[in-house]
Chains A and B, each alone.
Chain A
Amino acid sequence: MVKSYRPRTLEEALKIRSETRCIPYAGGTDLMVRYRRGAGLAAGFDQPVLFIGQLAELTQIYEKNGELTIGACVPYREIIHQRHTPEILRQACELIGAPAVQNLGTPGGNICNASPAGDTLPPLSVLDANLTLQSLSGERNVSILSFFTGPGKTILRDDELLTAIHFRLPHFTVEGYRKVGTRKANALSKVSFAAFMLKEKEMLADIRIALGAVAPTVVRSRELENRLIGQPLTDLAKLLPEILESYGKLILPITDQRSDANYRKTIALRLIENFVLKEES
């Protein structure tokens, strides 16, 4: 039986984190399935457990000066109900499991789990979200795109916790979120897609595109976006084939068998194409 800790404050939690190798437990929706041993048996955690879902410091969500801050342990359901939550993030959260899972699951868990199919990652990537990582010795803020180093791998240190996610609220004219899975609820994505676009005076003033579940980590390319930014809307159709080909090269097989890389690629490219060419919505 492993030891478990239930600190009352973030500071206590960080102290335990600095002294003991332990597994942070937020909503438990990934962990309880991963360590499941079956009916009547306690979950088989192999390291001490640090419960963090109860910490007040990690469960606040608020807007201030045009920036939304989401505590790492705010359950999906609360993000869905926050009126400042951008539509693409709200839609992503609504499609994660069913309501009972959304009452437990947290974005902090989704991010730290670092699954290529994590459904909050594409919307948070196009929102240019920053993550606050805290330890006893201080805090650092990193862009979500620099947080992942591979499937299940991140730059989070053993003595750190992810404490908050924040981003400026966006002002775009077109936004899109799509999740292609096997069943509406409870299905991990085969491909997920989040994007924003700003059209001004017949020009593409800005665009951001992110793809989930098509490579070991979320795909977002500023370089390809820059090739579209500043172009007249009437030229987009002509430019797209080349851009799509470049996106195709960023789509790499992931090891699971849920569906093959070609299928993911076809869907992903079609989602980009439909989005870029879509009329003002």
Chain B
Amino acid sequence: MSQIIQFTLNGTPVSLESDPMRRLLDVLRDDFSETGVKEGCGEGECGACSVFLNGKLVNSCLVALGSIEGMNVETIVHFKNTPAYRVIEQAFSDAGAVQCGFCTPGMVLAAYALLKNNPHPGENDIREAISGNLCRCTGYNMIVDGIRLAAKRGEGKW
């Protein structure tokens, strides 16, 4: 039974009539062309589908559309225009943290979620923050370096 569901997507109120048991991941990709939200595993293990829900990092493949009525969804697109994003993007690029790029949106959001609360993370904090994000290319060290670099350069931007 389709229902009308309303939420805020990247600052804009949206409303759609749909099956409440659809995954937020599919809604974002298929109905809103948010292709920066990726599907890797579909079961909460890889972090490629990460978004912010009411300001908290979540896996959109684990979220049913019907559960987010009235909530605030922010995707990678929303962050592209912020100074914080540019710092992380540049740091990732300088550290060689981006190879095929599939995991990158999720990694950037996980880094952002970390730095927002902990602007001076240690190596363990960084590894724990990205522990839900799989990367097949880099072996993680370059991503850790990227986040460390972003922390150093990003002073005051989170």
Contacts and interface: CB of A to CB of B under 8 A. Distances in A.
A36 interface: yes
Nearest to B106: A100
Interface string A40-82: 1111110001010110000000000000000000010100000
B67 A28 contact: yes
Contacts of B39: 39
Given A100-B110, A101-B44, A1 B63 contact: no
B132 A29 contact: no
A150 B8 CA distance: 42
Interface in A92-110: 97-101, 103-104
B150 to A, nearest CB: 17
Interface stretch (B51-59, B74-82, B84-92): B51-59
Contacts, number: 109
Main secondary structure of the interface of A (DSSP, over half): loop
A25 interface: yes
A75 B55 CA distance: 14
B62 A104 contact: yes
B157 interface: no
A17 B133 CA distance: 37
A2 B21 contact: yes
B137 to A, nearest CB: 19
B43 interface: yes
A241 B67 CA distance: 51
A42 B57 CA distance: 22
A262 interface: no
Interface residues on B, range: 35 or more
B43 A36 contact: yes
B132 A185 contact: yes
A184 interface: yes
Contact of B62 (A33, A41, A42, A51): A33
B142 interface: no
Q: Kindly name the residue among A51, A75, A98 whose own CB sees the greatest number of chain B CB atoms within 10 A.
A: A98
Q: Kindly name the residue among B30, B42, B69 whose own CB sees the greatest number of chain A CB atoms within 10 A.
A: B42
Q: What are the 3 closest A-B residue pairs judged by CB atoms, nearest first? A: A98-B132, A185-B131, A103-B56
Interface of B: 1-3, 19-23, 26, 30, 39, 42-45, 47, 50, 53, 56-59, 61-64, 66-67, 69, 110, 113, 128-129, 131-133
15 contacts: A2-B1, A6-B67, A27-B62, A28-B67, A32-B44, A32-B64, A49-B20, A49-B64, A53-B67, A97-B44, A97-B132, A98-B132, A99-B113, A99-B129, A100-B59
